[in-house]
A and B are shown apart, each in its own frame.
Chain A
Amino acid sequence: MRKSLQIILSIVLLFTQSCDFAEIATVRKVSFVSNGTYLLPLAYGDIKMQTVFDVSGLSDINFIADSEGYYKANKIIEEFKMEDTLSFNNDVIETLSHFQLRIETENRIPLELKLELIFYDSLVNTKLGSPIDIFLVAPPKMNEQGKAIASTNNVEIIELNAEQIEAYQQASFIFYKIDFSLPQTNSDKIMLHPSDFLTINIGTIVKLNKPQNEE
């Protein structure tokens, strides 16, 4: 009986020593190392002026188009700003070593749109890193009568390198400002046509952090 036990123990010992099982049994955490850079489309669409009319209810009221189908609007408000503060969860950004947001637009709607983002640390109320300031939608080419005569293609890229990401990781909230404005034209009117449009493609390129081994 004792010899049988010795034999069985010998087998188990030889097997476990040879197969790294003892070391594998100590594992408490699993991590993956890769150089992955991933491209992912986030959103797309095309907004037609006709849709804006329909959704806003302008189609239902007595809003008369001219012989070419243009609707005439007064420049009541030439610029409109929207700003607010959002709390910022930095869990996602912590996993990134590189981030790029690509916003491609083709615009024929008489409108331009700018975006500004500022990252803040709420504890010491200081700005972190440099603000992000981009032209989200560039204005179309306008003529003397206030009509959009050609669409404008615009590609904006927000690129954050490892240094910026590290700075933004300390952020607890984001201040954002969206600036809507009418394009520059000599006319005191803006002419809107139902076929005016805005197409958008938004995609992102992200590179994940390599895991740092804990001591």
Chain B
Amino acid sequence: MRKTYSIFLFIIFCIGFYNQVLSQEINLLYNLRNTPQANLLNPARINHNSKVTINLPFTSGFDFKLQNTFSISDFFSIENQTAIFNFENLQNSIGNDSYFSQTFGMPWVHVGVRFNENMVSFSITEQQLFRTSTNRQLIQLINEGNQAFVEEPFKTYFDLNLLHYREYAAGYTRQLLPELSVGGRVKLLTGIAAIDIKKLNIELHTGSNLEYLRFMVDGEYNLSLPININNISDIANIKPLAYFTNGSNIGTAIDLGASYRPIPELELSASIIDLGFIRWKTNATNITHSGSFTWRGLYINQFFEKPQIINNEEIPEMKPLEQLGDSLKEIFDFNVQEKPFSTGMPTKLFISGEYTLDETFSASLTNQLFIYNHQLTNALTLAGNLKLGNVWALSAGYSIIERSYNNLSLATSLKLGPFQFYAATSNILSMRITQTSNFSIRFGMNFMFGKIEN
């Protein structure tokens, strides 16, 4: 009972602790000893010596990440019970492109079995991703107004991607030589929902003599949702079971990895994860629109002209809002088609070097390149990895994540009999969520049986 209580307290500590920290992608899991999760980031790497590893639904853990190019405190503060949104500070703190992303992953099941120099694995994982981006000009427009865009027009874009899919993965790892391991994983993907804004370009031209405002929009979107976009009222009839078991949107992806030891103490490794696509067919909808309208103000001639009479009816004078509404119609004149479309997967590229000093300690440098929708983000982690037998492992390091330089990463695992608890994050420096631009937590439990003798 006392042991159970201690385990509980440890979990509480992890949950409470990791709720306060930040991260992009958790590079430390790549090097954390004793845990099978490293194999998910490089299928050639096996960081534990158990014969069988199993993850079960809901106990296997969660992976949740929020990432921003700015922290909430960059533009938000509370003073005298007033919430202040300061767009001046926000404009000064963000770069040319800003984005917000959120991902969630939950393994339903994972089984890995090792025999001789081989390991085979199978897993089912739920994955969800939301990402949106725009450029600095949108914040500049809100902060400085359109006076800043008289000489040069305001031009911005808005990008948004939402993916919800499930992956069924079969993996194989083999130690070809004492110094060389390779691995791969083939994934069958079933898409559940997608929103892909391929482009949404917005321009605002302001006449230097206040004579006009010209608003131009050019958009192209692909959607695959549980409802047909033409019948929004069907939203009340969505059947959750049908939604979660949708198998009409098929895709595929591969993971590849290799690990090489030029000298026994040094391990060089690289991997590519989630290289693939999904073909979306369920309620696949393609929407395009393009148009502009020019606002020149209220047309005063109407007050001086005789009302028009058509079919003995006097046509009432045009109201300004009606003028605006008529102009906006062109912009929102959507062209809707129903054709299947494809989306690429969020691909990760890892490169790592790890130097082992002795049985208990190693130092590592790991770089992760995240590639999605023509955008790149980078996370570099320098870490020290401690291993006390097969029971406890701790990795701690410093990470540079995009333009964020204040990230102290931490990951740990504790094995008690066949149960192993693990948790990881990319930053423990910030203790308040409003101060963070990155928030990530990955924790869970592995069942680990048997032992491979090195």
Contacts and interface: CB of A to CB of B under 8 A. Distances in A.
Contacts of A46: 301
Given A14-B15, A39-B150, A40-B210, A26 B78 contact: yes
A27 B16 CA distance: 24
Interface of A: 3, 7, 10-11, 14-15, 18-20, 23-24, 26-47, 51-52, 54-55, 102, 104, 200-205, 207, 211, 213-215
B19 A18 contact: yes
B214 to A, nearest CB: 10
Given A7-B12, A18-B16, A213 B147 contact: no
Interface of B: 5, 8-9, 12, 15-17, 19-20, 78-89, 142-148, 150, 206-207, 209-213, 295-301, 304-306, 431-434
B153 to A, nearest CB: 13
A4 B100 CA distance: 37
Contact of B81 (A10, A28, A36): A28
A55 B304 contact: yes
Nearest to B84: A31
Contacts of A207: 145
Contacts of B12: 7, 10-11, 14
A38 B300 contact: no
Contacts of A42: 297-298
26 contacts: A14-B16, A14-B19, A18-B431, A18-B432, A27-B78, A28-B82, A30-B83, A32-B84, A34-B142, A35-B143, A35-B144, A38-B147, A40-B213, A41-B295, A41-B296, A43-B300, A44-B296, A47-B304, A51-B301, A104-B211, A203-B210, A203-B297, A205-B147, A213-B80, A213-B84, A214-B82
Contacts of A7: 8-9, 12
A20 B433 contact: yes
A54 B211 contact: no
Contacts of B9: 7
Contacts of A51: 301, 304-305
A39 B210 CA distance: 6
Nearest to A54: B306
A104 B209 contact: yes
A205 B209 CA distance: 10
A51 to B, nearest CB: 5
Contacts of B15: 11, 14-15
Contacts of A11: 12, 15-16
A202 B209 CA distance: 9
A28 B81 CA distance: 5
A102 B210 contact: yes
A27 B12 CA distance: 29
B80 A41 contact: no
A215 B81 CA distance: 9
A102 B82 CA distance: 36
A111 B289 CA distance: 47
A214 B84 CA distance: 12
B301 A45 contact: yes
A201 B211 CA distance: 6
Contact of B144 (A23, A37, A45): A37
B78 A24 contact: yes
A39 B16 contact: no
B85 A32 contact: yes
A23 B82 CA distance: 10
A201 B431 CA distance: 55
B298 A43 contact: yes
